[in-house]
Amino acid sequence: MELNNGKKSIWLDLKIVVPVMAVAVFVAFLSAVFVTISSPKIYTASAKLQLEKTDEAMQSSNKSARQISTYAEIANDSTFKKLVLEEARSRGNRGFAKFRVSAEVIGDTNILEIDVQTTNPKEAKVLANAAARALVKKSGGLNEAAFKETRQVVKDALKPVDQELADLRGKLFDIRGSVDESDSQELSSSEVDVNTKLFILKSKSLSKRQSMKAKAMEDQIDEKKNLRAYLVNYLSKESIKKLLSARSSLTLIFPAETPGGPSSPSWPKNISIAVLAGLMVGIAIISATDIFGVKLL
């Protein structure tokens, strides 16, 4: 291999290449040793949770993936550390050092792994299990919110029927000759209060025509009440069925154990990176020397 100016390539001179490469690798190796020794030891404890679902919900893999990903996002949020500390302190643990929480879904499964990294191995275990319990409670809270939303959906669906019932009862009050202004307020009272008021008004004497009107109105009220009862039964069943089919809950399946050794710094990793970096630096030095013709030895 010859350069354009006729000089011999430095790469062909092993007396130069080998020492330069050896020095570069050795310096990088010493740097890696120094960094590894001076770096604080970090311990990692892991806990695994499983997303439990109904048979119907399990049929939808996309929905399942979205739900488990949602829990992973919750655990990775910076505010989640506060819940972890609260859960750990509720068990009598105090004085934690700085720690880091991370979570990821294992492959295409319904299993979520929570990792906690800190400088104390025992604290790592305590905090990892606290993180798992905190996330389980969070999942329960999400389910409770879903139940409340379902109840509100049923309540909103019944509003037209309840309004019709209120109008019919108001007309019945009028037919029975009620002149009390508080009667209108009774319409928003409980079912028992309304029926009691109507029973009292029944004792009033009515004409034959008024009695027929009152009877017809009572029949309409009974029909509307039966319709409401049917709707309550149907809507409740359908809403709860839909909710339960999509409902999920996290279960701790593998609690965290005290790590047997630090996860970082890693001697093999640091040394490997140092050797690779040393080789690259050595190659760069020799290449630059070869191009610019600088004498190394």
Q: CB 49: neighbour CB atoms within 10 A?
A: 27
Q: What is the pLDDT of residue 186?
A: 43
Q: What is the pLDDT of residue 93?
A: 83
DSSP 12: G
Q: What is the pLDDT of residue 223?
A: 87
Q: Is the omega angle on the peptide bond into residue 265 within 30 degrees of 0, that is, cis? A: yes
Which residues, at least 6 apart from 268, have a Cβ–Cβ distance to it below 8 Å?
none
Cα(233)–Cα(180) distance, integer angstroms: 35
Cα(261)–Cα(40) distance, integer angstroms: 13
Please calculate the CA angle 50-85-51 and round it to the nearest 5 degrees.
Answer: 10
43-148+248-254 has which CATH code?
Answer: 3.30.70.1130
Q: Are 214 and 175 in contact (CB under 8 A)?
A: yes
Helix (H) or strand (E) holding 75: helix 61-76
CA dihedral 214, 220, 223, 229 (to 10 degrees): -90
pTM: 0.59
Q: For the chain, what are the domain ranges?
A: 10-39+267-292, 43-148+248-254, 167-246
Per-residue pLDDT of the chain (297 residues; tens, 9 = 90+): 444 455 567 777 778 888 888 999 999 999 999 988 999 999 999 999 998 765 554 455 666 778 888 889 999 998 999 999 999 998 888 888 889 999 999 988 889 999 999 999 999 999 999 999 999 888 876 666 566 666 777 778 888 888 888 888 777 777 765 434 444 444 444 555 555 555 555 555 666 777 787 788 888 888 888 888 888 777 776 665 665 555 567 889 999 999 998 988 888 999 999 999 999 998 998 888 877 765 555
Give the closest residue to 77 by CA, choosing from 96, 97, 101: 101
Q: CB 196: neighbour CB atoms within 10 A?
A: 13
